[in-house]
Structure 1
Amino acid sequence: MGESAATVDVTIWDWLPQAAQEVEHYLERLLAEAAISAHAVDARAKKIESFQEKCRRKQYTDPLQDVTDTVAVRIITYSLTDRDRAERLLVDRFQIAENHNPGAAKPQSRRGYDCSHLVVTGERAGVEPGWLIAGGRLAQYFDTFGGLEIQLRTVAAHSWAEFEHARRYKGQPYQAISDHDRATVDQLFGAASDARRALDELFVAIDRVLANPTAPSSPPAALEEAAPPSGDPAGPPTGRQTPVQPAPLRTYLAERFPDDGEASAKGMQFACELIDACGLSSIEALARALEGVDSDQVRRLMDTATAVTRVRRLDDTLLARFGEEYIAATGALGNVPRRSQQLEWRYDRLRGKLPVSNAGRKR
């Protein structure tokens, strides 16, 4: 028999805020790796008073296992496309105990709520190690509690939900007005929901145009000048040829991306695999292949707020240089679920926006 709310160890609440901070940073990194720029990623730890009140109201017999939002996270994206992408990332990364949209069960007259609710119980077996801090509070949370809730919704859906929560769900005036007026308010909320759905669809349409712009009738002159001979992405070999190995590659990446973080030994080995998949046989060939790519512009277009490693910067720069061919060549490399799909998402941010207008300039 589990313990009651009254007997739960209250010292747990001393470290819950740290668990919330760790999961927030974890999810920010996960979204950044997939080039998903969220409007907000906010985690919170439930206050002990709220936890105890919920246990009394629900009459839970095993509170630590039954309350699955003791730590909860809300991810707010700009578009439905990014919301769905984020949800797929979570499903690939975590063990999922629940995944539903409470709004789907509401009657038509109360339509409008649109938010994916996931309860995760830990990382899935086989995911890339090192993301969950060993001995950290998030790992302790997964060992102690029955789940952690993650909500995903768009900016438009969030605005509707916050207003509805304040005016109708928790609003005292709504309870005080007549049945006729409440029916009117319900109709207006339904109309607002329809407008919100239309706004979400328009945002998706805008993203599609931005991701697939009309191709120019002819390539910019600078791009033509920068393009190496067909079939030889790095051009003919000249001078010294430094083999693509972790040590010299680490030096090259430190020079090209001085402001970004060092990669792990495993990350450097992955970088060597990426370069080999591009048919580049030396550090010099790599440098020549990337001469016409402005890595700073690539970073801005990726629009990720979190810090990334130099290997991630290299990955993005190679993607900018070789495009769809790079996705086909490297999409199956590494222990990264749906890497090919993630590369497609990231390439959507670059497609049509990177004429090599500064050929020969090294970054």
Structure 2
Amino acid sequence: MHFIGVDLAWGASRPTGVAVLDAAGRLVHVAAHGTDDEIVAALTAYTRGDCLVGLDAPLVVLNRTGTRPAEAALSRDFARFEAGAHPANTGRPEFRDGTRGARLAERLGLDLDPGSSAPRRAIEVYPHPATVALFRLGRTLKYKNKPGRPVATLRAELGRLMDLLEGLEGATPRMRLRDHDGWRALRALVAGAERKSVLRQAEDQVDAVVCAYVALFTARRPEAVTAYGDVATGYIVTPTLPADQVPEPRKRRDPVQTAVQAYAAQQPALQEATDAFVTLVRSYLDDAGINYLTVTGRTKSVESFAAKAGRTVDGKRQYPRPLTQITDQIGVRVITYGHEDVAAVADLLADQLSVQGDRDMGQETASEGRFGYASRHLLVGIDPARSPGEREQRLVGRSASVQIRTVLQHAWAEFEHDIRYKGTIPEELAPDLDRRFTLAAGLLELADREFSQIRARLQAPAPRQRPEPDVNDPRISAQDLATFLAGQYTEAGWSRTDHYEWVCGLLLELGISSLDELAGLLASIDGAGINARMGYRYPPGAVRRLDDALLAVFGSRYLALHGNAHREAQLRSRLEKLRAVDPPARSTRAVVTGAGQEP
């Protein structure tokens, strides 16, 4: 006869643990499987003869809502040991069309009645109350992954459960695990686990061993088991809770764990807010025409929040109020090309958002006479007093930690973090590696300066050379426009490559197909007047300068261009600024009329 344990996943996408004991209680099989076909294939050889299968999954679920009578009855005994049952009802998608456990039992030809004397049966079991009763635990072992439980705790608790199971070699009935290669492999996997995902691989199989032993215990000691519920409404079979067993007194609630649980509950909303902040920052940069490489975001993981919330300094908690004091729950990172772009981005965000904190980590490092980590860190939020628009309104009350750094600073920071925090540095190598990291930081700072000098040299006034037009393409090329604008707006920063291409399309819609036409148009405009009306509090990019000049000249006609359809609201707001005082023109062609002028 075989006694089989199945820690059945409620969904087919997650692994299912399977364990098999022979009639003498020896472990003969332990593994994880996925689909129903795989599970059936693994169990067929063991279920052909007499068998009892313990399935950790609902077998009979008929109630539309709430809990089954069996779950309510079991919870009355075991909830004080933190081993109450989870509710199962047909309102849940996984039980709407019957249960996965019953379908598997049917395919294997197993009787589901716990009171049956059939030689081939299956029963519903539940590892948590079983381990509480078998090992007289005051509370359940905390090896399940929950918010606030670090890997070390999960590993230790799962290891303790495995110790207890091995101890059943001297129990009645006995179970022998140590001689099985698969069990020894699980022990090694758990002992060396550094990630929760690794522990999860072992956890399902260890639970399956518990289920197999409950099946063995039920067959050998039926007088010592309790069947909660019945086959008509659903049941759970478990070793009987000893009458004299009492729960372990509740510990005082850990404030860090409380904060971590609260953070885990709100993380989905934070992820949505992170995406919104990324979109908002990117739109600000695009609207300002500032050159950047990437804008990315990340929501702090529950594990990272838990680690930070638990930090102590001199024995005192560093964050007594983690939910409000840990300010990088929402993170945004802007990677730029040059140093001047970092400053431009910071100025832009200060103009558009409320800056609650500003640290220049590179400046702090330099002030200490060192080379090393360099990045501008802003803590920003939405200021309700500024009458936030639709994009900002949904983020009122949220804050985001924004890192701004050059691509070279980013490369150094990522590599240094990867080596120091993800690798192990032998103590004897630490001084040499510190020196090498410092040397690399100094070289990259020099490279950043050289890139800035190259840009400045390219933007310096130079004799204008008009390229020969391509007779087959009526558009001004993006490269030619970039060169032209660098000379036209020498104090402006470069814009993104795709922005030059985009504005070339707008020029074509306006009928401007040569740099000579564009130069003549811009010559008639009072650029200083436009700058004064726009009130830039950040250095706008070259494309933004051209964009505002075209808006000043063409007015409503510019708004109506197909290429501007996605930003009409922003352009209207800018047009109102341009119309607020006398027009910035040195000739009538630059007057803002609302209808627009022909170039």
TM range (shorter): 0.5 to 0.7
- Structure 1 equivalent of residue 388 of structure 2: 129
Distance 1:73 1:219, change over 3 A: closer
1:159 counterpart (404, 411, 416):
411
Q: Counterpart of 1:188 in structure 2: which amino acid?
A: R
Specify the SS of the correspondent of 1:153: strand
Work out which of the residue numbers 288, 296, 302 in structure 2 matches 1:48. Answer: 302
Give the 3-state SS of the residue equivalent to 2:311 in structure 1. Answer: helix
8 Å Cα contact 1:113-1:157 kept in structure 2: yes
Q: Distance in 2 between matches of 1:185 and 1:84?
A: 31
Equivalent residue in structure 2 for 1:38, among 285, 292, 296: 292
Deviation at 1:188, TM superposition (A): 1.5
Aligned-partner residue type, residue 40 of structure 1: T
> Following TM superposition, by how much is the alpha carbon of 1:260 offset from its aligned partner in structure 2, in angstroms?
4.5
For the residues of structure 1 that align with 2:465 and 2:422, how far apart are their CA atoms? 57
**Count, aligned residues:** 261
Per the normalisation by structure 1, the TM-score is 0.60
2:286, 2:257 → 1: CA distance? Answer: 41
- Pick which of 60-69 and 268-277 moved more: 268-277
> 1:123 and 1:211, CA in 2 relative to 1: closer, same or farther beyond 3 A?
farther
Cα pair distance change 1:183/1:6, threshold 3 Å: closer
Q: Secondary structure at the match of 1:44?
A: strand
Cα separation, partners in 2 of 1:273 and 1:48, compared to 1, 3 Å: same
1:276 partner SS: coil
Corresponding residue number in structure 2 for 1:15:
269
In the alignment, is the contact (CA less than 8 A) between 2:277 and 2:400 conserved in 1?
Answer: no
Q: Is 2:396 the counterpart of 1:139?
A: yes
Say if 1:20 and 1:72, in contact at 8 Å, map to a contact too.
yes
After superposition, the C-alpha distances for 1:291-334 in whole angstroms (9 at most, x for unaligned) are 3xxxxxxxxxxxxxxxxxxxxxxxxxxxxxxxxxxxxxxxxxxx
Distance in 2 separating the partners of 1:164 and 1:275: 55
Matched, 1:187 2:456: no
1:325 maps to which residue? Answer: none
Taking a change above 3 Å as real, the CA distance of residues 109 and 80 of structure 1, as seen in their structure-2 partners, is closer
CA distance in 2, matches of 1:216, 1:201: 27
Distance 1:274 1:195, change over 3 A: farther
1:70 to 329, 332, 337: 329
1:1-363 to 2 correspondence within 5 Å?
A: 4-8=255-259, 9=262, 10-58=264-312, 59=317, 60-103=319-362, 104-105=364-365, 111-123=371-383, 125-126=385-386, 129-130=388-389, 132-134=391-393, 136=394, 138-140=395-397, 142=398, 147-172=399-424, 174=425, 176-178=426-428, 181-216=429-464, 223=516, 227=520, 250=556, 253-255=559-561, 257=563, 260-263=566-569, 266-270=573-577, 272-273=579-580, 276-278=583-585, 279=588, 280-281=590-591, 286-288=596-598, 291=599
Distance 1:87 1:269, change over 3 A: closer
Shift of 1:44: 1.0
Secondary structure of the equivalent of 1:200?
Answer: helix
For structure 1, which segment, 252-261 or 26-35, has the greater mean C-alpha deviation from structure 2 after superposition? Answer: 252-261
The answer on whether the counterparts of 1:26 and 1:131 sit within 8 Å (CA) in structure 2 is no
Q: Where does the alignment leave 5 or more consecutive residues of structure 1 unmatched?
A: 234-247, 292-363
Q: Let me know the Cα RMSD of the aligned residues.
A: 3.8
Distance 1:193 1:115, change over 3 A: same
Higher relative contact order (CA 8 A, sep 6+): 1
Structure 1 pair 100–284 and aligned structure 2 pair: CA distance change class (3 A): closer
* CA distances 1:232-264 after superposition (whole Å, capped 9, x unpaired): 99xxxxxxxxxxxxxx95456324746554336
**After TM superposition, what 4+ stretches of structure 1 lie above 6 angstroms from structure 2?**
106-110, 217-222, 230-233
CA distance in 2 between partners of 1:69 and 1:222 (Å): 47
Provide, for residues 48-83 of structure 1, a one-character-per-residue CA deviation record: whole Å limited to 9, x for no partner: 222122111243221121101011111111000100
- Retained in 1: the 8 A contact 2:558–2:596? no
Between structure 1 and structure 2, the one with the greater Rg is: 2
Residue pair 1:44, 1:72 contacting (<8 A) in 2 also: yes
Change (3 A) 1:260 1:273: farther
Q: Give distance in 2, aligned partners of 1:226 and 1:184.
A: 57
Hey, what does 1:300 align to over in structure 2? Answer: none
Letter in 1 for 2:440: A
Residues 139, 285 of structure 1: alpha-carbon distance in 2 compared, 3 angstrom cutoff = closer
User: Cα 1:282–1:165, aligned 2, differ >3 Å: closer, same or farther?
Assistant: closer
Q: Aligned partners of 1:216, 1:226: CA distance in 2, in Å?
A: 11
Cα distance in 2 between the residues matched to 1:163 and 1:34:
31
Q: Distance in 1 between matches of 2:518 and 2:300?
A: 59
Which 10-residue stretch deviates more, 278-287 or 88-97?
278-287
User: Contact 2:295–2:335 at 8 Å: present in 1 too?
Assistant: yes
Deviation for aligned residue 1:93 = 3.0
The answer on whether the counterparts of 1:39 and 1:78 sit within 8 Å (CA) in structure 2 is yes
CA–CA separation in structure 2 for the residues paired with 1:232 and 1:48: 55
**Corresponding residue number in structure 1 for 2:128:** none
Alpha-carbon contact 1:275-1:286 (below 8 Å) kept: no
Query: 1-side partners of 2:355 and 2:518: how far apart?
Result: 51
In the alignment, the residues of structure 2 paired with residue 167 and residue 46 of structure 1 have an alpha-carbon distance, to the nearest angstrom, of 21
Distance in 2, matches of 1:109 and 1:232, equals 48
* Cα distance change of structure 1 residues 275 and 31 upon mapping to structure 2, 3 Å threshold: farther
Q: How far 1:160 sits from its partner (Å)?
A: 0.8
Change (3 A) 1:36 1:70: same
> What residue ranges of structure 2 are gaps of 5+ in the alignment?
1-253, 469-513, 527-553
Q: How far 1:132 moved relative to its partner?
A: 4.2
Equivalent residue letter for 1:5: V
Contact 1:109 1:187 in 2 (8 A): no
The answer to whether the 8 A contact 2:381-2:396 is kept is no
Percent sequence identity is: 27
> C-alpha separation between the residues in 1 aligned to 2:357 and 2:346?
12
**Matched letter for residue 215 of structure 1:** P
TM-score by length of 2: 0.38
C-alpha distance in 1, partners of 2:311/2:461?
Answer: 54
Q: Secondary structure at the match of 1:61?
A: coil
